[in-house]
């Protein structure tokens, strides 16, 4: 399906209301808009819908920007503030008035309430029909008025939606919506359309909770004779149990995902798959997502959060990411989780350990746990399980190992040869000497291979840790 708007350069937008943090659903909407624009050489714009002064806060705006930055969703141009455009919104309402597609309504709140009460009593639709719609301006009182757009009275409005298909709304269900209140302030419904038009938005990709708004917003497009954008209303995200997302489903803000140790690369991959698919592809890069993403791949059924899948993708992304970038991610994670930053020494150790810990770490936290051996300082305190491997006989073996290590050239082969020599001399398998070594070097039973650890720790630190337990 294509519409004229689809042929102009693509402009998408993300238009959050700044009433809290960047929600996981919002992040997915932003991602879809970003992918769509980036894959077509288009623009991805950001508009903060801050017209509801009572609920919008600057802190929330900042939190949303921070969330988008972490997600790597860069926007084009300046952030647009909807409230800053209020004068333009009002001007458009007056333009509709001049065109005759809108009218001044002098009905008071009391009159409207009385109308509704009567309609209800008579079992009619309570949609307000203003008596001023077709009134003669000569009869207008000198009183405050709202500007209402004239809704079509017959027929139906069809939203040609790229996800939902054609959605038909009977026009009898539409009322003459207020565009400008009697105090001169524009309504949200008007503001969205004017801003989208003025920003040159060609594709409106947003949650399907806005589908009903689309029918009403179409009235403004029609009243102004503006081109209607391509609509794509995407199903909302549900929890693992299939129910609407709520706090009990766990992390809702993207900042929480950062603090849980998920990398932004994995988040983009995971969120892209939340409601969109490209064949059977599960694991992909940003470049692939950008070139593959299309509205046709968006499903009609609500997607479900699946933390296991996110953890799995995290493992694949950490393994596939260049070491320096992983470390940058780790530093962001530590800051987000309120943990101390890495010292210079820890940073260097982590860099050296990277080849041995990068595989199968399902979060940055797991990665750091694997790297724990090179982040801690002597003396290494063995946990209860590991301590069992440090019996007097084993300690003796570690002591025997020391001169061999002193002579080793610190290649993996030489370290293995040294351990094998001592194991053979004691008539035991290599595994039996690995356990006390692990305990001495890391104080844990689950660690990278003992030889990998020795390579990362270096000769002096390795010998010092062995001495600590065998002296
Ligand atoms: N501000 C709306 C929201 O946060 C989005 C409006 C739109 O995308 O048109 O849900």
Q: For the domain that residue 403 is a member of, what is the CATH number?
A: 1.10.10.350
Q: How confident is the model at residue 247 (pLDDT cuts 50, 70, 90)?
A: confident
Q: Which of 297, 189, 185, 304 is nearest to 243 (CA)?
A: 304
> Rounded to an integer, what distance in angstroms lies between the CA atom of residue 24 and that of residue 31?
10
Q: Say what the pLDDT of residue 249 is.
A: 84
Catalytic residue among 247, 308, 309, 385: 247
Q: Which of 12, 13, 14, 17 to mutate to test the pocket of ligand 1 (most atoms within 8 A of CB)?
A: 17
| pLDDT tier, 250 (very low <50, low <70, confident <90, very high otherwise) | confident
Taking 90 as the threshold, does the pLDDT of residue 54 lie above it?
Answer: no
Banded model confidence at residue 4, pLDDT cuts 50, 70, 90 = very low
Give the residue numbers spanning the domain of 452: 376-470
Query: What is the distance in A from the centroid of ligand 1 to the CA of 16?
Result: 5
In a domain, 392, yes or no: yes
Residue 2 has a pLDDT of 42
Interatomic CA distance for residues 68 and 71, integer angstroms: 5
- For residue 153, say if its preceding peptide bond is cis, omega within 30 degrees of 0: no
Classify 102 as helix, strand or coil: strand
Say if 68 falls within a structural domain.
Answer: no
284-307 residue pLDDT tens: 999 999 999 999 999 999 999 999
206, 207, 215, 228: residue to mutate for ligand 1 pocket, most atoms within 8 A of CB:
206
The ligand 1 atom nearest the CA atom of 16: 4
Assign 26 a pLDDT band (cuts: 50, 70, 90): very high
Contact indicator for 133, 103 with CB cutoff of 8 Å: yes
Atom of ligand 1 minimally distant from the CA of 206: 8
Cβ atoms of residues 208 and 233 within 8 Å: yes
d(CA 344, CA 340): 12
Distance 4 CA to ligand 1 centre (A): 24
Q: Whose CA is nearest to atom 4 of ligand 1?
A: 16
Name 262's bridge partners. Answer: none
Which residues pair with residue 186 across a beta bridge? 180
| Ligand 1, residues at Cβ distance < 6 Å | 15-17, 49, 192, 206, 210
Q: Tell me how far the alpha carbon of residue 8 lies from the centroid of ligand 1, in angstroms.
A: 23
Q: Which atom of ligand 1 is nearest to the CA of 217?
A: 9
Q: How confident is the model at residue 52 (pLDDT cuts 50, 70, 90)?
A: confident
Q: What pLDDT, on a 0 to 100 scale, did the predictor assign at position 7?
A: 61
Neighbours of 374 (CB within 10 A): 24
pLDDT digits (tens, 9 = 90+) for 111-132: 999 999 999 999 999 999 999 9
Distance 179 CA to ligand 1 centre (A): 17
- Domain presence at residue 160: no
Q: In the annotation, is 247 catalytic?
A: yes
Q: Specify the number of domains making up the chain.
A: 1
Domain-embedded: residue 430: yes
Going by their DSSP bridges, the two strands 146-149 and 178-180 should be labelled as antiparallel
* Index of the ligand 1 atom closest to the CA of residue 192: 9
H helices of 344-449, in order, are: 344-357, 364-370, 372-375, 384-387, 392-407, 412-425, 430-442
425 occurs within a structural domain: yes
Q: Are strands 102-105 and 156-161 parallel, antiparallel or unpaired?
A: unpaired
Classify residue 415: in a domain, yes or no.
yes
pLDDT, greater one: 251 or 74: 74
49 Cα–ligand 1 center, Å: 7
Query: Does residue 31 fall inside a structural domain?
Result: no
In a domain, 250, yes or no: no
């Amino acid at each position: 399906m294509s519409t004229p708007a689809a042929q102009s350069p693509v402009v998408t937008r993300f238009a959050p209301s700044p009433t809290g943090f960047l929600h996981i659903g919002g992040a997915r909407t932003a991602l879809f808009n970003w992918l769509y624009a980036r894959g077509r050489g288009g623009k991805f714009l950001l508009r903060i819908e801050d017209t509801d002064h009572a609920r919008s806060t600057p802190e929330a705006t900042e939190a949303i920007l921070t969330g988008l930055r972490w997600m790597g969703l860069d926007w084009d141009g300046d952030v647009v503030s909807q409230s800053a455009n209020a004068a333009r919104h009002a001007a458009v309402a007056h333009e509709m008035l001049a065109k005759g597609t809108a009218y001044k309504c002098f009905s008071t709140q009391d009159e409207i309430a009385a109308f509704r009460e009567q309609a209800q009593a008579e079992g009619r639709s309570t949609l307000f029909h203003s008596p001023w719609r077709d009134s003669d301006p000569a009869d207008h009182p000198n009183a405050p008025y709202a500007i209402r757009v004239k809704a079509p009275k017959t027929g139906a409005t069809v939203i040609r939606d790229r996800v939902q298909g054609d959605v038909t709304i009977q026009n009898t269900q539409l009322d003459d919506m207020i565009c400008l209140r009697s105090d001169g302030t524009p309504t949200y419904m008007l503001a969205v359309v004017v801003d989208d038009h003025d920003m040159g938005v060609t594709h409106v990709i947003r949650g399907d909770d806005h589908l009903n708004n689309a029918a009403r917003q179409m009235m403004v497009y029609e009243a102004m004779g503006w081109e209607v954008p391509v609509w794509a209303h995407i199903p909302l995200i549900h929890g693992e149990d299939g129910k609407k997302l709520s706090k009990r489903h766990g992390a809702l803000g993207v900042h929480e995902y950062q603090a849980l140790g998920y990398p932004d690369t994995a988040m983009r991959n995971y969120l892209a798959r939340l409601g969109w698919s490209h064949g059977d592809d599960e694991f992909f890069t940003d470049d692939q997502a950008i070139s593959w993403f299309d509205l046709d791949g968006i499903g009609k059924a609500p997607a479900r959060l699946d933390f296991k899948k996110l953890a799995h993708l995290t493992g694949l992304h950490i393994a596939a990411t260049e070491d320096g970038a992983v470390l940058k991610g780790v530093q962001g994670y530590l800051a987000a989780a309120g943990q101390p930053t890495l010292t210079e020494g820890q940073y260097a150790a982590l860099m050296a350990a990277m080849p041995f810990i990068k595989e199968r770490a399902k979060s940055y936290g797991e990665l750091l746990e694997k790297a724990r051996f090179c982040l801690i300082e002597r003396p290494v305190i063995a946990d209860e399980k590991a301590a069992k491997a440090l019996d007097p006989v084993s300690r003796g073996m570690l002591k025997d190992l020391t001169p061999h290590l002193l002579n080793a050239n610190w290649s993996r082969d030489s370290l293995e040869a040294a351990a094998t020599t001592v194991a053979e001399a004691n008539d035991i398998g290599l595994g039996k000497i690995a356990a006390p070594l692990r305990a001495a070097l890391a104080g844990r039973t689950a660690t990278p291979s003992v030889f990998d650890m020795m390579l990362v720790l270096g000769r002096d630190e390795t010998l010092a840790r062995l001495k600590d337990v065998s002296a």
